[in-house]
Amino acid sequence: MWEAYRHGLGLVLWSAWGHEWDEPDGASVARRVIGALEPGAIVLLHDTDILNPPGSTQRVIEALGPIAEAMHRSALAPVRLDQLQAVGR
C-alpha cells in the first residue's frame, strides 16, 4: 500500500468477490457476486488456476453468463475500472 502511494498510485478494492476457489460450482460463484451487485460495484474474479485450486477458472467461466444476465436485468452496464473512476471525478 505504501509503495503504491509513494509512486502516486491509488488503491482500488472490490465490493463483489466470487470466492471461486471456495465455491463448489459456477452457480455458487454467480450467486455470491449477484448478491453484491449494485451501481458502482467492483467485481473481483480470478482468471487463472495458477495460484488457485484447479477448477477455479472453470467456475468463473460458468458464472459469467448468469452474472451478465443479472446485470442486464438490473440495467447495470459493465465498464472498465478506468471508466468507472472517470465517472466519480
CATH number of 14's domain: 3.20.20.370
pLDDT recorded at residue 29: 97
pLDDT recorded at residue 71: 97
Answering whether pTM is above 0.75, one says yes
Please count the structural domains in the chain. Answer: 1
Largest CA-CA distance found in the chain, in angstroms, rounded: 41
54-81: average pLDDT:
95
Provide the domain limits for residue 64: 2-87
Residue that wins the pLDDT comparison between 48 and 88 = 48
pLDDT recorded at residue 10: 82
Question: Tens digits of per-residue pLDDT, 5-61?
Answer: 899 988 888 999 999 999 999 999 999 999 999 998 999 998 888 888 889 999 999
Q: CA 41, CA 70: separation in Å to the nearest integer?
A: 13
Taking 60 as the threshold, does the pLDDT of residue 89 lie above it? no
